[in-house]
């Protein structure tokens, strides 16, 4: 690993906000707001700033095909504003027609934070799911489950563990010889979390998107790599034109692909596999199909990059028919973190850095009054030089959480920058918005409290 390579530690308290560098190093794609249907404030304001393969989800939405959303929560501590951002995005995907699955990471929080499973369950329901309900997720289209009581996620993690090794964990997570093995097992279970909704008994093959903060990207890189490594068929652009489909032979498909134990090849068997690839291409409407088992590929000269997604799904279906897992690498979206109220990182263990969703209104007011300000030290200087809304917590929290009205926000921004709006006035605006938002949340929490159990999947009640 190069010296200036960045390693993100999803359990660490350091938080890299060098988003450009993260994007470049890990190959995230900038989010193109203009492509998004009914964008939320998080999208309109560029807070959701990057993605991997979100196109396959938007295409499913456009073509009326199913897609899923998966997110997970650590049932420890209290839920704060930062946690609500994923809920906002899950709601948006749900409005667009996605089904939502929520993993309660009780195994992870037991292993990495010492929270007993029973305690994790209580916290998940009374603190997290109660707020997911209040924030407006639809219980009819949401399934909450516990890692500890859904064996298939553990099994999948175990099974896919075979396709990675400690070197990969070292390079993805920065592990060393002292690393506790809980930090090896937890990511594998999380791989199971992310991939299992595609299994037939959990909704079947479809794109699944995972909205996260960049701190969780290591888990996505791991999961995407592992899913791809299990695939039986590869698709790549042909150097001539069109696309090539080839077989990816490994021990799980060697027999099905006619690789005999003595090292010889069962040509008839291979020919049959190629025929099935040709049929899959025909089902997609291709007529120009050149099958060359000897060269090891099926060539689709008229296929373009845009056909890749449909082709991949069809080949994953074929893989499943032939006995494979047929897993599609998950999509993901990434959001910026709101700054902590003190100007540092937002953290549940530092109550002054954030607003908890159960903070009372007096506490909310007090925290905002004391929040880090982007104003000048004196009124005179502020009037003369103007303030900086980019680092002003009151402004930032209206932008991230409390204020839906883009025009009002733009007004506050320019008034603050010009010095017309004072730091204290900005804080008062924020207190007003926050108070309205928190009051509404409290009311919704009371109204939806009885729905919490409706969110639970049948295996988790």
105 binds ligand TRP (CB under 6 A): yes
Distance CA 425, CA 429 (A): 6
For ligand TRP, give the closer residue by CB, 218 or 375: 218
Q: How far is the CB of 278 from ligand TRP (least distance, A)?
A: 37
Distance CA 182, CA 161 (A): 14
71 binds ligand TRP (CB under 6 A): yes
Q: How far is the CB of 42 from ligand TRP (least distance, A)?
A: 17
Q: How far is the CB of 365 from ligand TRP (least distance, A)?
A: 29
For ligand TRP, give the closer residue by CB, 12 or 296: 12
Burial 1-35, CB ≥16 within 10 A → b, else e: eeeeeeebebeeeebeeebeebbeebebeebeeee
What angle is formed at CA 167 by the lines to CA 166 and CA 173, rounded to 5 degrees? 80
Q: How far is the CB of 25 from ligand TRP (least distance, A)?
A: 21
72 binds ligand TRP (CB under 6 A): yes
Q: How far is the CB of 460 from ligand TRP (least distance, A)?
A: 14
* 27 touches 51 (CB < 8 A): no
Distance CA 217, CA 27 (A): 11
Q: How far is the CB of 12 from ligand TRP (least distance, A)?
A: 11
355 binds ligand TRP (CB under 6 A): no
Q: Where does this chain touch ligand TRP (CB under 6 A) — which range of 31-39, 189-197, 198-206, 365-373?
A: 189-197
List the structure tokens of 433: 């918005």
For ligand TRP, give the closer residue by CB, 7 or 278: 7
CA distances from 93 to 37, 332, 430 (A): 10, 12, 28
74 binds ligand TRP (CB under 6 A): yes
**Around Cβ 439, how many Cβ atoms within 10 Å?**
12
* Neighbour order of strands in the sheet with 243-247: 233-237, 243-247, 297-300, 290-292
Q: Which of residues 200-239 bind ligand TRP (CB under 6 A)?
A: 210, 212, 216
Distance CA 405, CA 428 (A): 17
For ligand TRP, give the closer residue by CB, 190 or 354: 190
For ligand TRP, give the closer residue by CB, 153 or 313: 153
Q: How far is the CB of 348 from ligand TRP (least distance, A)?
A: 11
Name the nearest CA neighbour of 326 among 414, 257, 211, 228: 228
Q: Where does this chain touch ligand TRP (CB under 6 A) — which range of 70-78, 119-127, 302-310, 365-373?
A: 70-78
For ligand TRP, give the closer residue by CB, 148 or 190: 190
Could you say which of 50, 103, 329, 371 contacts ligand TRP (CB under 6 A)?
Answer: 103
Instruction: For 214-276, give the DSSP string.
Output: GGGHHHHHHHHHHHHHH-SEEEEE-SSSSEEEEE---TTTTTTTTB-TTS-B-HHHHHHHHHH
β-pair type (331-335, 48-52): antiparallel
190 binds ligand TRP (CB under 6 A): yes
For ligand TRP, give the closer residue by CB, 194 or 394: 194
Q: How far is the CB of 424 from ligand TRP (least distance, A)?
A: 36
Q: In terms of residues, how long is the chain? A: 461
- Taking CB atoms, the residue at the shortest distance from ligand TRP is 72
Size of the site for ligand TRP (CB under 6 A): 13
Could you say which of 53, 99, 127, 193 contacts ligand TRP (CB under 6 A)?
Answer: 193
The helix/strand/coil state of 72 is: strand
For ligand TRP, give the closer residue by CB, 43 or 83: 83
Q: Where does this chain touch ligand TRP (CB under 6 A) — which range of 190-198, 228-236, 310-318, 402-410?
A: 190-198
153 binds ligand TRP (CB under 6 A): no
**Around Cβ 327, how many Cβ atoms within 10 Å?**
27
Distance CA 40, CA 91 (A): 10
194 binds ligand TRP (CB under 6 A): yes
154 binds ligand TRP (CB under 6 A): no
Q: Is the dihedral of CA 240, 224, 174, 4 positive or negative?
A: positive
Q: How far is the CB of 316 from ligand TRP (least distance, A)?
A: 21
Binding site for ligand TRP (CB under 6 A): 70-72, 74, 103, 105, 108, 190, 193-194, 210, 212, 216
């Amino acid at each position: 690993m190069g010296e200036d390579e960045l390693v993100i530690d999803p359990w660490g308290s350091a938080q890299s906000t060098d988003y450009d560098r993260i994007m470049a190093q890990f190959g995230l794609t900038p989010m193109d707001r203009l492509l998004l249907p009914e964008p939320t404030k998080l999208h309109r304001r560029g807070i959701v700033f990057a993605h991997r393969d979100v196109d396959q989800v938007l295409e499913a939405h456009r073509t009326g095909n199913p897609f899923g959303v998966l997110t997970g929560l650590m049932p420890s501590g209290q839920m704060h504003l930062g946690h609500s951002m994923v809920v906002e995005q899950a709601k948006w995907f749900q409005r667009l027609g996605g089904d939502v699955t929520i993993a309660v990471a009780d195994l992870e929080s037991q292993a990495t934070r010492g929270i007993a499973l029973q305690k994790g369950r209580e916290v998940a329901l009374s603190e997290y799911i109660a707020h997911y309900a209040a924030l407006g997720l639809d219980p009819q289209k949401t399934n909450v489950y516990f890692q500890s009581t859904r064996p298939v996620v553990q099994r999948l993690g175990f099974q896919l563990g075979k396709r990675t090794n400690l070197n990969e964990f070292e390079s993805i997570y920065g592990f060393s010889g002292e690393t506790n093995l809980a930090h090896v097992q937890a990511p594998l279970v999380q791989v199971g979390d992310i991939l299992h909704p595609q299994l037939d008994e959990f909704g079947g093959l479809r794109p699944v998107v995972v909205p996260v903060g960049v701190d969780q990207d290591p888990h996505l890189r791991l999961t995407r790599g592992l899913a791809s490594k299990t695939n039986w068929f590869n698709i790549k652009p042909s150097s001539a034109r069109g696309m090539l489909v080839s077989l990816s032979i490994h021990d799980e498909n060697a027999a099905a692909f006619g690789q005999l134990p003595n090292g010889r090849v069962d040509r008839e068997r291979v020919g049959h596999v190629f025929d099935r690839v040709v049929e899959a291409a025909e089902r997609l409407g291709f007529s120009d199909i050149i099958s060359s088992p000897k060269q090891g590929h099926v060539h689709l000269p008229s296929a373009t990059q845009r056909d890749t997604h449909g082709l991949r799904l069809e080949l994953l279906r074929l893989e499943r028919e032939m006995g494979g897992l047929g897993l599609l690498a998950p999509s993901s979206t990434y959001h910026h973190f709101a700054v902590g109220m003190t100007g540092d990182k937002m953290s549940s263990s530092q109550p002054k850095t954030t607003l908890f969703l159960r903070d009372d209104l007096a506490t909310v007011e007090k925290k905002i009054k004391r929040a880090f300000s982007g104003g000048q030290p004196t009124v005179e200087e502020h009037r003369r030089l103007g303030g900086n809304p980019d680092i002003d917590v009151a402004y930032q929290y209206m932008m991230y959480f409390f204020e839906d009205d883009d025009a009002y926000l733009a007004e506050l921004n320019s008034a603050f920058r010009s010095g017309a709006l004072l730091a204290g006035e900005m804080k008062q605006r924020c207190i007003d918005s926050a108070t309205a938002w928190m009051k509404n949340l409290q009311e919704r929490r009371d109204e939806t409290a009885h729905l919490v159990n409706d969110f639970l999947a049948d295996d988790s009640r």
